[in-house]
Chain A
Amino acid sequence: MASIELSSVTKRYGETTIVDGISLSIADGELVVLVGPSGCGKSTLLRMVAGLLAPTAGRISIGGRDVTQLEPGDRDIAMVFQSYALYPHMSVRDNIAFPLKVRRVRPAELDERVRRVADMLGLAHLLDRRPRDLSGGQRQRVAMGRAIVREPKVFLFDEPLSNLDAALRTRMRAEIAELHARLKATMIYVTHDQHEAMTLADRIVLLNHGHIEQQGTPLDLYRRPRTRFAGEFMGSPPMNFLSVARQPDALMSPHLRVARGGLRIDDWDVLPEELVLGVRPEALRLAEHSSAPHRLDVQVAWVERTGSDSYVHARAGESSVVARVTASDGERVAAGSTVTLAFDNMSVFDRDSGLAVAHC
């Protein structure tokens, strides 16, 4: 197993910069999820680590060895592709055995390793089938088997679950997490699905426009987004954003009041006057009485009931607001009514720079 070190890795195509000088250290055995919207450079970064793309500038090392100029096959990595990239004309057995055959592993050892991996992934009865005869989940498992059988230093996953249906995705996600726990291998996992990132990662690296927007543990990113973008990207439904003005004793808007006391901000007076308040949907609750220190008046548009929770979709002036409340609270709210929502946790962002100035 090995650590990974990226120093100022850059990828440009002509005038367009896809990855902009990213430096990142990944510890031995860590599962790092690269997450971000389409075009943020996460797949490009992964492909550079794999050696499928050459960086325009920067250095990549794996296990202390500079691999920037090495071919993918010489980097001791394995990769699982979004399309699985199984060899269609080969059986499951030959697909899994391919990397071993390339490395001239002795037939007896090869058979033993293929069998072990097939047992581990529940593929033993499918070894003679062709990929076209497998379901999506089985194909996914074969792709993982082909990666595992090599016993590489590093595993790379490029949106491996995107082609699966929701139920299967949940199951495969659990299998990948279990695999990581068992193999204790260093893994880089690329996804655009923040939910996948939250549930799998030891550490999330959030990318935006080719640079690292924020990195940290999933809960860290969730609770303390460094920017408005990070707050918006992580979490579903996304964080609510409301424009507020700084007053001497509160953050105010016509529909909203956040008492200064609850915010624990020491240099209140140096804050910009125009701010944006970010509140997670689950931080909002129906206010029992109008004396809550932080509160928001909204007009309910409709209520979405999922059974366990209710999502109250509402408007506060120009802003739309979603609140996740208990099912019983959801029943108390009628479309068209005006209700007061209270909250304790929030983030405050500078309106112009988008940077967070406070969390509580």
Chain B
Amino acid sequence: MSERPSFLVRLGAYLVLALATLTVMFPVYAVAVMAVSRAPGFSVVLSPDPSLFTLEHLAKFVARHDANGRWLFGRQLANSLVVAGGATALGVLLATTAAYAFSRFRFPGHRLGIASFVVVQMFPATMMIVPLYLLMSALGLLDSVVGLVVVYATTALPFCVWMLKGYFDTIPADLDEAALVDGASRVRIFYQVILPLARPAIAVTALFSFLSAWNEFIMAATFLSHEEKFTLPVTLFRHVGAYGADWGAFAAGSLIVSIPVCLLFFALQRQLVGGLAAGAVK
């Protein structure tokens, strides 16, 4: 047993941790204060005034309607959910099957495939915008939520496959073989033996896909042109225009946009901890 650290050491450690927490939490605090304060700009953050409290910004962001009287926020929230959810579902479905194949089978192009998954990570996403734009245009998928689902699912795919393959590699091949001898088909082994064991890794991968798609701005802003097709990050950006910024509404929008992500984190918390520590102790 090691000796319990002295009071001063512990105090120091807590101070450092407290400072780190404050640093991380400050932007969240700033956005929250701006979202519920009547005063414009950043000044209110340093001297918050309860008398300036308002829900006006939040209400304004949520209640937006377009010229035809359609509820814009509702549509855009739905767009974001469909895009992020769809990209996650499609991406995870493709990534788990591909990763299983790359983990368990040796086939022509195996090494090349693995290497290319890593290599494509070196290029920034912005590089792909022009070719993707041309492709989407040719396929008639511009200004469409479905198009964005396809783009997000495929751009996240290399990382997801890589991540999942790494995890599948840690699941002993003996299990596959035992199930084969027991008479199970490869498909059954995948769904009943491997997938349940890979749940933590799948949770991390799904969260990554969802977050990437939920937060993505550049491609969405490039490929979508009508307001009713926008995802929330694109809408949010519209509040900081060339002719001045509505910081209150922007902050309110930011808060609202982050709520689903927080909920998802809480829902997956248990799986995530398992996933991040996966392979550490086996």
| Contact for A52 among B177, B183, B185, CB less than 8 A | B177
Instruction: Tell me how far the C-beta of A151 lies from the nearest C-beta in chain B, rounded to whole angstroms.
Output: 13
What are the interface flags for B180-215 relative to A under an 8 Å C-beta threshold, 1 for contact and 0 otherwise?
Answer: 111111001000010011000000000000000000
B178 within 8 A of A: yes
- Across the interface, which residues of B come within 8 angstroms of A88, CB to CB? 197
Q: How far is the CA of A72 from the CA of B184 in the complex (A)?
A: 9
Interface centre among B179, B188, B196 (most CB of A within 10 A): B179
CB-based contact B197/A72 at 8 Å? no
Residues from 21 to 64 in A contacting B, C-beta threshold 8 Å: 50-52
A73 within 8 A of B: yes
B175 within 8 A of A: yes
Interface size class of B (residues with CB under 8 A): 10 to 19
Q: How far is the CA of A95 from the CA of B235 in the complex (A)?
A: 52
- Across the interface, which residues of A come within 8 angstroms of B193, CB to CB? 87
Name the residue of chain B whose CB is nearest to the CB of A143.
B178
Interface centre among B179, B181, B196 (most CB of A within 10 A): B181
CB-based contact B197/A79 at 8 Å? no
Q: How far is the CA of A146 from the CA of B181 in the complex (A)?
A: 11
CB-based contact B172/A85 at 8 Å? yes
Instruction: Tell me how far the C-beta of B96 lies from the nearest C-beta in chain A, rounded to whole angstroms.
Output: 16
Interface residue SS majority, chain B: helix
Name the residue of chain B whose CB is nearest to the CB of A103.
B183
A89 within 8 A of B: yes
- Across the interface, which residues of B come within 8 angstroms of A136, CB to CB? none
CB-based contact A81/B177 at 8 Å? yes
CB-based contact B196/A89 at 8 Å? yes
- Across the interface, which residues of A come within 8 angstroms of B182, CB to CB? 73, 78, 98-99, 102, 146, 150
CB-based contact B197/A99 at 8 Å? no
B3 within 8 A of A: no
| Contact for B175 among A50, A74, A87, CB less than 8 A | A87
Instruction: Tell me how far the C-beta of A157 lies from the nearest C-beta in chain B, rounded to whole angstroms.
Output: 12
CB-based contact B181/A78 at 8 Å? yes
A249 within 8 A of B: no
A77 within 8 A of B: yes
- Across the interface, which residues of A come within 8 angstroms of B180, CB to CB? 51-52, 71-73
- Across the interface, which residues of A come within 8 angstroms of B172, CB to CB? 83, 85
- Across the interface, which residues of B come within 8 angstroms of A52, CB to CB? 177, 180-181
CB-based contact A72/B181 at 8 Å? yes
B66 within 8 A of A: no
- Across the interface, which residues of B come within 8 angstroms of A81, CB to CB? 174, 177-178
Q: How far is the CA of A321 from the CA of B178 in the complex (A)?
A: 45
Q: How far is the CA of A146 from the CA of B182 in the complex (A)?
A: 9
Name the residue of chain A whose CB is nearest to the CB of B183.
A73
With A83-B172, A102-B188 already in contact, the answer to whether A73 and B181 are too (CB < 8 A) is yes
CB-based contact B181/A89 at 8 Å? no
Name the residue of chain A whose CB is nearest to the CB of B178.
A85
Q: How far is the CA of A28 from the CA of B193 in the complex (A)?
A: 33
Name the residue of chain A whose CB is nearest to the CB of B199.
A89
Instruction: Tell me how far the C-beta of B56 lies from the nearest C-beta in chain A, rounded to whole angstroms.
Output: 51
Instruction: Tell me how far the C-beta of B95 lies from the nearest C-beta in chain A, rounded to whole angstroms.
Output: 21
| Contact for B183 among A85, A86, A99, CB less than 8 A | A99
CB-based contact B184/A73 at 8 Å? yes
Name the residue of chain B whose CB is nearest to the CB of A89.
B196
Q: How far is the CA of A340 from the CA of B178 in the complex (A)?
A: 55
Instruction: Tell me how far the C-beta of B271 lies from the nearest C-beta in chain A, rounded to whole angstroms.
Output: 13
Name the residue of chain B whose CB is nearest to the CB of A99.
B182
Q: How far is the CA of A79 from the CA of B188 in the complex (A)?
A: 19
Name the residue of chain A whose CB is nearest to the CB of B197.
A89
Instruction: Tell me how far the C-beta of A102 lies from the nearest C-beta in chain B, rounded to whole angstroms.
Output: 4
CB-based contact B174/A50 at 8 Å? no
- Across the interface, which residues of A come within 8 angstroms of B175, CB to CB? 85, 87
Q: How far is the CA of A78 from the CA of B172 in the complex (A)?
A: 18
Instruction: Tell me how far the C-beta of A332 lies from the nearest C-beta in chain B, rounded to whole angstroms.
Output: 51
With A88-B197, A89-B197 already in contact, the answer to whether A102 and B184 are too (CB < 8 A) is yes
- Across the interface, which residues of B come within 8 angstroms of A79, CB to CB? 177-178, 181
CB-based contact B197/A98 at 8 Å? no
CB-based contact B181/A50 at 8 Å? yes
- Across the interface, which residues of A come within 8 angstroms of B179, CB to CB? 87, 98
Instruction: Tell me how far the C-beta of A352 lies from the nearest C-beta in chain B, rounded to whole angstroms.
Output: 43
- Across the interface, which residues of B come within 8 angstroms of A99, CB to CB? 182-183
With A85-B172, A88-B197 already in contact, the answer to whether A102 and B178 are too (CB < 8 A) is no
Interface centre among B172, B178, B193, B196 (most CB of A within 10 A): B178
Instruction: Tell me how far the C-beta of B177 lies from the nearest C-beta in chain A, rounded to whole angstroms.
Output: 5
What are the interface flags for B256-273 relative to A under an 8 Å C-beta threshold, 1 for contact and 0 otherwise?
Answer: 000000000000000000
- Across the interface, which residues of A come within 8 angstroms of B183, CB to CB? 72-74, 99, 102-103
Name the residue of chain B whose CB is nearest to the CB of A52.
B177
Instruction: Tell me how far the C-beta of A77 lies from the nearest C-beta in chain B, rounded to whole angstroms.
Output: 7
Write 7 A-B pairs (CB below 8 A) sorted by A numbering.
Answer: A51-B180, A72-B181, A73-B181, A81-B177, A87-B179, A98-B179, A102-B183
User: 7 additional contacts, CB 8 Å, given A74-B183, A81-B178?
Assistant: A73-B180, A78-B181, A82-B174, A85-B177, A86-B178, A87-B193, A103-B183
A interface with B by C-beta (< 8 Å)? 50-52, 71-74, 77-79, 81-83, 85-89, 98-99, 102-103, 146, 150
Which 3 A/B pairs are nearest by Cβ-Cβ distance? Answer: A73-B183, A85-B178, A99-B182
